[in-house]
Amino acid sequence: MVRLVVTVILLVLLTACGSIGLLPTTELVQKAIALQVQQTQQQLNQQLDIDFQGFEIKRLRISREEPLTIQNLPAFRVRGTYDLIFKLPKRQLTQLQQPFEVYLQIQQEGKTWRLLLPQKGSQDSQLAWRSYLIL
């Protein structure tokens, strides 16, 4: 019960302090999406032998930011849409208004953010998360 009260107070303070940079910015969300796309692109390169030459994220629109707690640290579930342009050797592939949902967590020192991905196939009653530093 005490943990819940402390978490709620922390989330209220984080929400109140949003103007000083404790809320995820559009730039941060774009970097998190780029990290996910990069991982998917690498998998496709290996499986399909496609020569992707990069990608570009445009028109990022955040529709919702929800504060929550993951592994006793404040986090945010951010939702919205973006346009994705894959660069291929002889053409570009454009996907418009791709929906996204990312989980972002600010670290205890408040200086770095991490992208959190739910671990697939977790047998525990608690959901396991993989964490990636967003540079």
The residue that leads in pLDDT, 100 or 71, is 100
Q: What are the C-alpha distances in Å from 27 to residues 34, 77, 100?
A: 10, 15, 15
Q: Are 82 and 41 in contact (CB under 8 A)?
A: no
Question: What mean pLDDT do residues 23-37 have?
Answer: 94
Determine the Cα–Cα distance for residues 103 and 118; give it in Å rounded to an integer. 9
pLDDT at 7: 55
Determine the Cα–Cα distance for residues 56 and 128; give it in Å rounded to an integer. 30
pLDDT at 18: 42
Does the pLDDT value for residue 2 go beyond 60?
no
> Which residues, at least 6 apart from 107, have a Cβ–Cβ distance to it below 8 Å?
73, 113, 114
pLDDT at 123: 60
pTM score of the predicted model: 0.74
Does the pLDDT value for residue 6 go beyond 50?
no
What phi and psi values does residue 90 have, to the nearest 5 degrees? Answer: -115, 0
Does the pLDDT value for residue 24 go beyond 60?
yes
Determine the Cα–Cα distance for residues 38 and 25; give it in Å rounded to an integer. 20
Does the pLDDT value for residue 21 go beyond 90?
no
Q: What is the pLDDT of residues 103-118, one digit of tens each?
A: 999 988 888 999 999 8
pLDDT at 11: 54
Does the pLDDT value for residue 98 go beyond 90?
yes
